[in-house]
Amino acid sequence: MVDLAQLMAFAGRSEALTGTLTSHLSYASEGATSEALLANMEVQGTVRLDGGSYAGLGLAEALDAAADRLDNIDVEVAIAGLDQPVKASGGLDWRGERFALSATASPAAMLAGKPMPVQASLSGNRLSAGVTGTAAPDGAFDGRVSVRTPDLRGLLAWVGRPLGPGGGLGPFSVSGRFNATPDGLSFEETDVSLDGTSGRGEGSIQLSGAVPVIKASFALEQIALDPYLGQTARRQGRVAMPPLPPLSRRQPVGARSRSISPD
Give the least confident one: 18-27, 64-73, 122-131, 158-167: 158-167
Specify the amino acid at residue 196: G
Report d(CA 203, CA 153) in Å as an integer: 25
Residue range 125-133: mean pLDDT, rounded: 96
pTM, to two decimals: 0.76
Residue range 42-49: mean pLDDT, rounded: 92
136 class by beta-carbon count within 10 Å (0-12 exposed, 13-18 middle, 19+ buried): middle
Confidence of residue 8 (pLDDT cuts 50, 70, 90): low
Residues 6+ apart with CB under 8 A from 231: none
Question: Is residue 45 pLDDT above 60, yes or no?
Answer: yes
Q: How many CB atoms lie within 10 A of CB 205?
A: 16
Query: Which pLDDT value is given to residue 7?
Result: 66
Q: Chain-wide mean pLDDT for the chain?
A: 83
Tell me the pLDDT tens digit for each residue of 70-84.
999 999 999 998 788
Confidence of residue 14 (pLDDT cuts 50, 70, 90): low
Higher pLDDT, 48 or 226: 48
Report d(CA 198, CA 211) in Å as an integer: 30
Tell me the pLDDT tens digit for each residue of 94-128.
999 999 999 999 888 887 888 999 999 999 999 99
Specify the amino acid at residue 233: A
Supply angle C-alpha 2, 15, 88, rounded to 5: 60
Long-range contacts: 213-217, Cβ < 8 Å, 24+?
A: 213/259, 213/260, 213/261, 213/262, 214/258, 214/259, 214/260, 214/261, 215/257, 215/258, 215/259, 215/260, 216/257, 216/258, 217/252, 217/255, 217/256, 217/257, 217/258
Query: Which pLDDT value is given to residue 170?
Result: 92
Q: Phi/psi at 96 (nearest 5 deg)?
A: 80, 5
Query: Which pLDDT value is given to residue 231?
Result: 53
Instruction: Provide DSSP, 123-142.
Output: E-SS-EEEEEEEE-TTS-EE
Residue range 226-243: mean pLDDT, rounded: 53
Question: Is residue 247 pLDDT above 60, yes or no?
Answer: no
Highest mean pLDDT among 13-22, 90-99, 232-241: 90-99
Confidence of residue 179 (pLDDT cuts 50, 70, 90): very high
Residues 6+ apart with CB under 8 A from 178: 133, 141, 142, 143, 144, 145, 185, 186, 187, 190
Query: Which pLDDT value is given to residue 32?
Result: 84
Q: What is the DSSP letter of 96?
A: T
Query: Which pLDDT value is given to residue 48?
Result: 95
